[in-house]
Amino acid sequence: MKTKISSIALSIIFLGLADCKSSDKDDGYRLWLRYDQIENESVLNDYKQIIQNIIVTGESPTIFAAREEILYGLSALFGAEVPVNKEVKEGCLLIGTPESSSVINGYFKGDTISAIGNEGYSIFSTQSEGYKITVITGNTDVGILYGVFHFLKLLQTRQSIAELNIASKPGIQNRLLNHWDNLDRKVERGYAGFSLWKWNTLPDYIDPRYKDYARANASVGINGTVLTNVNANAQVLTPEYLEKVAALADVFRPYGIRVYLTARFSAPIEIGGLRTADPLQKNVIEWWNNKAKEIYSYIPDFGGFLVKANSEGQPGPQNYGRSHAEGANLLARAVKPYNGIVMWRAFVYSNEEPEDRAKQAYNEFKPLDGKFEDNVLIQVKNGPIDFQPREPFHPLFGAMEQTPVMMEFQVTQEYLGQDIHLTYLAPLYEECLHSDTYAKGTGSEVFKVINGSLFNYNETGIAGVSNIGDDRNWCGHPIAQANWYALGQLAWDPEAASQEIAEEWIRMTYSNNQEVIDTMLKIMMISREAGVNYRTPLGLHHQMAWHHHYGPGPWIKDKPRADWTSAYYNKADETGIGFDRTKTGSNAVSQYFSPLTELFGNIETCPEELLLWFHHVPWNYKMKSGNTLWEELCMKYYQGTDQVREMQTKWNSLEGKIDDERFKHVQSLLKIQVRDAIEWRNACLLYYQTFSKMPIPEKYEQPDQTLEYYMKVDRKYLPGS
Ligand code: BDP
């Protein structure tokens, strides 16, 4: 018994999580895996009645991780050690696969539990030899680990565990984070400090944080991580760095996480000494084949490559007159013998191309459908421009029948207030996933494209551009952790509801107090729409400041690249505002299936939230509300600032109901957010007013600064750019 106690004590120290228990202090390090002791006596006693002892069967690093987590989690939640047994007794929590536990095997009569697949789990209450027991099982050790996290979540969110009958498996195979981390530890569009990966001290020093990162990911089912920036540095493919990558892979492996790297297309030249990177040249093919072999000698379960090619200055196959398919296939063939995949990004556009930027990716990739190796996935951002507060779904979803298309969401809030504004992103993800593409008629939602069910894809995937850095609380804004959590939950179940995800997260991360839950839910669920309203309502997009993308810049024009200016997108003039993407304009509507082409293409039927995305609309156009467009625009901007003030008032009501540390942190950030929202609103309206020549209705508080003032705001040294 003594050894058991000390092993639990040891694991608590080892997990590095024992340091922030006090209820008025919480630095956010523990994320949603806080496991604070359950205060409600009757709930606690019920749980203790059901779980009196534990058996974990099996031997593997993953089972060890699962055992460590459940022992740590239960003892912390119960405030007392839960004994580890060898034989099933009353109140046993029995954990293992049918192979590792003969008792569990008995329930399946020797069969594997096929319905839950390779990564799923089943949790059920049952009887064994007259004893009431609870079983967590799966076909694989990683399924067990996921089941353990789910079980702990039930306790963390205070659900009944008396009559459990749960079966769950992921809806998507490849569930990844994309880190836009550079080797110098700066993070592109990262706002939460430096990169977690301490390249200078790897592989010798293993920061304990690597393991906590893996635990957090495994707890939401994320099973892959791309360590490096899409704007890639070939150095990471050299032996010096591969050794470091291998050390990280070793930490992540027990948690079911594979590592991936970004491949710089010109690597054969830069680190290989070749004179070309032409994908059809024999020596280039050989170089990549050898490179893959070398990588797998360091990391036997290396996941594969993520590639940004011929976009925003990155090299690619088109430098040699070759297609994206030829480029992707080169890398795909190199990693195929080792079961690696290639995620080839469709975020491809060029300012030399006169075509509407929103159309370019589709034009490039649609004709290549079916021309890719079967281990290539095309990674597509949710919308056709670039992670804007609101975009229609990308028309490539539904357009590629023979080539798997995977989702890329942005978790880091590049255009949504970075680490300063409170923005819960799951409603944005949900809106996109539930958009109907009509690819095969009604009911062809985006989630059915990416879970592979619409076209029977052989590989499926979803990636989130990470918001994680070395800030103590990982994500900068305390609430931004919810976006990491939500990405994982939606990757596991792309049909999950954003509100339910938020509720779970609040319960685990803040409190099970109903008032706290209700208040935080209201704040979180309104936050994305508020962010749209005070930045770019009614389908406006890309109106941010040059370079750092934080504040407003609707006036940005006459820059070297027109497609990086705001004027390119707002097309504001005296006749109206908005981008004509109908037949009379760029005809981007034609890239959607009917009836969307007609619906978006007709000013009368286009959803008003996307109106200015698809139409150039006269200032006095009558909206459904009866307002003119100008009045409606004013209304939306003012609604946005009102919503943020409402968020602020609600948050203030939480004082004393959650820990003071995070309460004050969010409170301070909301003050900045209110100020910024007003700046966005005033700056945009004053600028558009120079064309509409109409007054901001008197009922609204009038801007207290001039347009010139806002145009002179010059934010220096913002992180992430
Ligand atoms: C844009 C970012 C830029 C990224 C690019 C990408 O501003 O930093 O490199 O996307 O996704 O949103 O490649």
Query: For residues 394 and 350, is the Cβ–Cβ distance under 8 A?
Result: no
Identify any residues that bridge with 158 across adjacent strands, giving them in sequence order: none
Could you give the CA distance from residue 682 to residue 666 in angstroms, rounded to a whole number? 24
Start-to-end CA span in the chain (Å):
54
Work out the number of other CB atoms within 10 angstroms of the CB of residue 603.
16
* 655 in catalytic set: no
Half-sphere exposure (Cβ direction) of 626: Cα atoms closer than 13 Å: 0
Atom of ligand 1 lying closest to residue 465 CA: 11
Domain count, the chain: 3
183 Cα: distance to centroid of ligand 1 (angstroms): 17
What sign does the dihedral 157-160-161-165 (CA atoms) show? negative
Q: Report the residue count for the chain.
A: 721
Ligand 1 pocket test: pick from 187, 189, 264 the residue with the most ligand atoms within 8 Å of its Cβ: 189
Tell me which of 212, 278, 364, 386 is the catalytic residue.
386
* Claim to verify: residue 161 and residue 285 sit in the same structural domain: no
User: Which of 178, 231, 262, 307 for a ligand 1 pocket mutation test, highest count of atoms within 8 Å of Cβ?
Assistant: 231
CATH number at residue 113: 3.30.379.10
Contact present, 134 and 186 (Cβ < 8 Å): no
For residue 381, the ligand 1 atom closest to its alpha carbon is 11
3 state SS of 655: coil
Enclosing H/E stretch for 95? strand 92-95
Tell me the pLDDT tens digit for each residue of 447-456. 999 999 999 9
Q: Can you tell me which residue has the tokens 């190199």?
A: 334
Q: How far apart are CA 30 and CA 19, in angstroms?
A: 9
In 3-state terms, what secondary structure has residue 600? helix
User: Do 626 and 486 have their domain in common?
Assistant: no
Tell whether 440 is covered by a domain: yes
Give the domain-ending residue among 153, 168, 183: 168
| Ligand 1 atom at minimal distance to the Cα of residue 387 | 12
- pLDDT of amino acid 113: 83
Q: Is residue 717 part of a domain?
A: no
Same domain, 491 and 549: no
Question: Residue 243 CA to chain centroid, in angstroms?
Answer: 28
Q: What is the pLDDT of residue 159?
A: 98
End position of a domain, from candidates 168, 196, 222: 168
Q: Does residue 497 belong to any structural domain of this protein?
A: yes
Residue with tokens 């991360």: 509
Query: How many A from CA of 546 to the centre of ligand 1?
Result: 13
**How many angstroms does the Cα of residue 719 sit away from the middle of ligand 1?**
14
226 with 123, same domain: the answer is: no
The upper half-sphere exposure of residue 322, i.e. CA atoms within 13 Å in the direction of its Cβ, equals 20
- Tell me which of 126, 148, 168 is where a domain ends: 168
**675 and 633 both lie in a single domain:** yes
d(CA 341, CA 327): 14
Ligand 1 centre distance from Cα of residue 643 (Å) = 29
386 is catalytic: yes
Return the structure tokens found at 358: 């929103």
**CB atoms closer than 10 angstroms to residue 293:** 13
Return the C-alpha torsion angle 267, 270, 273, 276, nearest 10: 60
Same domain, 327 and 219: yes
Domain around 626: 533-579+616-712
Q: Are residues 91 and 235 in the same domain?
A: no
**Within a domain: residue 524?**
no
How remote is the CA of residue 703 from the centroid of ligand 1, in Å?
32
Can you give the pLDDT at residue 23?
A: 61
The set of protein residues with a Cβ atom below 6 angstroms from ligand 1 is 188-189, 230-231, 308, 312, 347, 386-387, 414
**Chain-centre distance for alpha carbon 29:** 19
Asked if residue 550 and residue 442 are part of one domain, the reply reads: no
Q: What is the CA radius of gyration of the chain?
A: 26
Residue 498 CA to residue 153 CA, distance in Å, equals 17
Residues 304, 159, single domain; the answer is: no
Alpha-helical runs (H) found in 304-356: 324-335
Q: Is 414 a known active-site residue?
A: yes
Indicate the DSSP class of residue 386. S
Give, using CA atoms, the residue closest to atom 1 of ligand 1. 386
Transcribe 241-304 into DSSP letters: HHHHHHHHHHHHGGGT-EEEEE--TTHHHHTT--S---TTSHHHHHHHHHHHHHHHHH-TT--E
pLDDT for 489: 98
Q: b/e map of 653-684 (b: 16 or more CB within 10 Å)?
A: ebeeebbebbbebbeebbeebbebbbbbbbbb
Task: Name residues of the chain where pLDDT drops below 70.
Answer: 1-23, 110
C-alpha separations of 702 from 299, 345, 414 in Å: 60, 44, 29
Per the structure block, which two tokens stand in for 396? 């490539």
Q: Are residues 238 and 141 in the same domain?
A: no
Ligand 1 centroid to residue 319 C-alpha, Å = 20
User: What pLDDT sits at residue 110?
Assistant: 63
> 229 C-alpha vs ligand 1 centroid, how far in Å?
10
Residue 584 falls within a domain, yes or no? Answer: no
Provide the 3-class DSSP secondary structure of residue 202: coil
pLDDT at residue 114 in the model:
86
Pocket test for ligand 1, best of 187, 265, 348, 386 (most atoms within 8 A of CB): 386
**Residue 412: which CATH number?**
3.20.20.80
Model pLDDT, residue 721: 81
Helix (H, G, I), strand (E, B) or coil at 501: helix
Same domain, 160 and 180: no
**Residue 475 to residues 132, 272, 425, 449: CA-CA distances in angstroms?**
42, 37, 14, 30
Which atom of ligand 1 lies nearest, measured to the CA of 408? 11
Residue 652 CB neighbour total at 10 angstroms: 13
d(CA 219, ligand 1 centre) in Å: 28
- Maximum alpha-carbon separation in the chain: 82
The answer to whether residues 114 and 97 touch, using CB atoms and an 8 Å cutoff, is no
> Which CATH number do you get for residue 640?
3.90.1330.10
Residue type, 331: L
Same domain as 124, residue 88? yes
d(CA 610, CA 644): 22
- Given a contact cutoff of 8 angstroms between Cβ atoms, the answer to whether 222 and 276 are in contact is no
Give residue 393's pLDDT.
Answer: 98
| 57 belongs to a structural domain | yes
User: Which atom of ligand 1 is closest in space to residue 229's alpha carbon?
Assistant: 9
In sequence order, the β-bridge partners of residue 124 are: 135, 165
Strands 617-618 and 576-577: antiparallel
Q: Which of 46, 250, 312, 373 is catalytic?
A: 312
Question: What is the atom index within ligand 1 of the atom nearest the CA of 721?
Answer: 8
CB 474 within 8 A of CB 195: no
- Which residue owns the Cα nearest ligand 1 atom 2? 189
Catalytic residue among 414, 503, 632, 679: 414
Residue 600 lies in a domain: no
Q: What is the pLDDT of residues 666-706, one digit of tens each?
A: 999 999 999 999 999 999 999 999 999 999 999 999 999 99
610 inside domain: no
Residue nearest to atom 12 of ligand 1 (CA): 386
Most ligand 1 atoms within 8 A of CB, residue of 186, 229, 306, 347 to mutate: 347
